Structure 1
Amino acid sequence: MIVDKSIAYLRSRGVSLGDGLSERDIARVENRFGFRFGGDHREFLSKVQPHGEGWFDWRNENDDLLRSALNWLTDGVLFDVVNDAFWPVSWGQRPATTELRRVIASDQIAKWPKLVPLYGHRYLPADPIGPSAPVFSVYQTDVIIYGDDLLDYVQHEFGSQKMSPSRLNAHSFEPWTLFAFNLDME
């Protein structure tokens, strides 16, 4: 229901929507990039493939652009670790050397739930997250829950609906929600 309403909303806003991906197309993307789309993301892409600036064309996009979008998250956090003295308390004592900080941060980030690009720097959690997952806006360690679910997100991104405080449990998608709610990350 959320996906169908999201698609209808995007159509009403003039977003170009092409045919969805086949199960084979989806499986090929997942195998190539090492993740599984979350429930709503998978259903959405099986029904439509949005086109235009900001959208990721999972069927035709070149691998370098998609890998760059997938790596954007880690690269952004590492940038802040190296350049902005970002170091969460939960990681322990901050090492003196940049290289050791980078190694420890990379190991920590690798344990985090995967996020998959949706639009620009907006991301949905990868499987095993089921339906009604939040959409995160991620720019380095600036993380915002940009929609409580796909429908809430498209209404914010493509409409005039104002952002409302998130109703999410802050610990449901750690550590991304820790960033979004500014908990234990500094």
Structure 2
Amino acid sequence: MNLDHWTRGYTQAELDDAQAKFGLVFPPDLVALLRERRPVRGHDWADEAAIRSMLEWPLEGLPFDIEHNALWWSEWGERPDHPEARAEVLRSVLSRAPKLIPLLSHRYLPEQPHESGNPVFSVYQADVIHYGANLEDYFEREFNGWGHRPWPDQIRYVPFWSDLVERNC
């Protein structure tokens, strides 16, 4: 572990407060990591405005791709004629998708399932890719290089977000 990448962790009370404030449930591996240490360049869970902005980031980019890059999946039904109606369909789709927890920059860990081992996604509009097979794998790749080790054959499926990854390949 390169200590230059990490700083002191949060207390359990700080993590409980962050989860309550933002309506999240952190998976156990994220809680364990953030109790022990946190990334220096990671998002500060005490900075409410910055966290709220990063929680909205994935939701703000998708409407752009619907309006300008022909993003529309057949399972969403017929594409409405008006932008407001398309936005309403997207809001409904996203309301059923697992929430994303910001880690570093536009890298996110899905909140669900509420268990260890969720993949980490890089989210930039509808350009969503895996950035780690799980939390440990992600930080090894982030700090040691993308090709640091081979990708596993199986990465946990997360509704909606994994579908975006598949459709981007």
TM-score between the two structures when normalised by the length of structure 2: 0.90
Matches within 5 A, 1:107-186: 107-162=92-147, 164-168=150-154, 172-182=157-167
Give distance in 1, aligned partners of 2:11 and 2:93.
34
Give distance in 2, aligned partners of 1:10 and 1:76.
33
Identity across aligned pairs (percent)?
32
Match of 1:36 among 11, 22, 25: 25
SS of residue paired to 1:174 = coil
**Could you say what the CA RMSD is over the residues aligned between the two structures, in angstroms?**
1.8
Residues 1:92 and 2:89 aligned together: no
Give distance in 1, aligned partners of 2:116 and 2:126.
25
SS of residue paired to 1:131 = coil
Give distance in 2, aligned partners of 1:166 and 1:114.
24
Report the CA distance between 1:161 and its aligned residue: 4.9
TM-score between the two structures when normalised by the length of structure 1: 0.82
Amino acid at match of 1:154: F
Report the CA distance between 1:137 and its aligned residue: 0.7
8 Å contact 1:82–1:102 — kept in the other structure? Answer: no
Going from structure 1 to structure 2, the CA distance change for 1:169 and 1:48 (only over 3 Å counts) comes to: closer
Paired positions, count: 167
Uncovered stretches (5+) of structure 2, i.e. residues with no partner: none
SS of residue paired to 2:103 = strand
Match of 2:44 among 46, 57, 60: 57
Match of 1:48 among 30, 37, 57: 37
Give distance in 2, aligned partners of 1:122 and 1:110.
20
Per-residue CA deviation, residues 142-168 of structure 1 (Å, 9 max, x unaligned), is: 111111112211121111351744533
8 Å contact 2:112–2:158 — kept in the other structure? Answer: no
SS of residue paired to 2:109 = strand
8 Å contact 1:39–1:127 — kept in the other structure? Answer: no
Going from structure 1 to structure 2, the CA distance change for 1:166 and 1:30 (only over 3 Å counts) comes to: same
Report the CA distance between 1:39 and its aligned residue: 1.7
Uncovered stretches (5+) of structure 1, i.e. residues with no partner: 1-8
8 Å contact 1:117–1:123 — kept in the other structure? Answer: yes
8 Å contact 1:38–1:131 — kept in the other structure? Answer: yes
